[in-house]
Amino acid sequence: MVILVQFAIGLVFGLGLIVSGMSNPAKVLNFLDLAAIPTGGWDPSLAFVMVGAIAVAAVGFRLVLRRKRPLFAERFHLPSATDIDTRVIAGPAIFGIGWGLAGFCPGPAFTALGTGGTAALLFVAAMLVGMGAARWLANRPRTAIQQA
């Protein structure tokens, strides 16, 4: 049952990405190109998508976190770390640079794989390599100098 619920949620999310245009890198890059505002080439439509997503998530989190426990787990798994370190700064910075250069972020890139486009395939392959490299860096043994 859990897997069917997860599949349905993923399907709705993917359809939302397609309908909103978030899986189209050209539309995303037109949104990110603020220099095109004077010429009329800027596409503000994704701002509405983002604001809508934030509103839905805010309501959803508020309702879900009122529950004693999730529907399909024994407890909520919420982050406990509150410190801001290099990883908290570097991760979003790398994400933003990649999004700005390619016009893809992970969810829309996987959705765009369904179109058979080479750009999405290359992006997902590079993303998976980057994720593997990040995991390797995070889990490598620390030397005496790094521990000091």
Q: How far apart are CA 75 and CA 77, in angstroms?
A: 6
Q: How far apart are CA 9 and CA 5, in angstroms?
A: 6
Mean pLDDT of 48-72: 91
pLDDT at 8: 94
Residue 51 predicted with pLDDT over 90: yes
Q: How far apart are CA 85 and CA 95, in angstroms?
A: 16
Which among 63, 41, 52, 68 is positioned nearest to 19, based on CA atoms?
52
Q: How far apart are CA 32 and CA 61, in angstroms?
A: 28
Residue indicated by tokens 């410190």: 83
pLDDT at 71: 84
pLDDT at 1: 82
Task: Kindly report, residue by residue over 101-147, the tens digit of the pLDDT.
Answer: 888 888 888 888 888 788 889 999 999 998 899 889 888 887 656 55
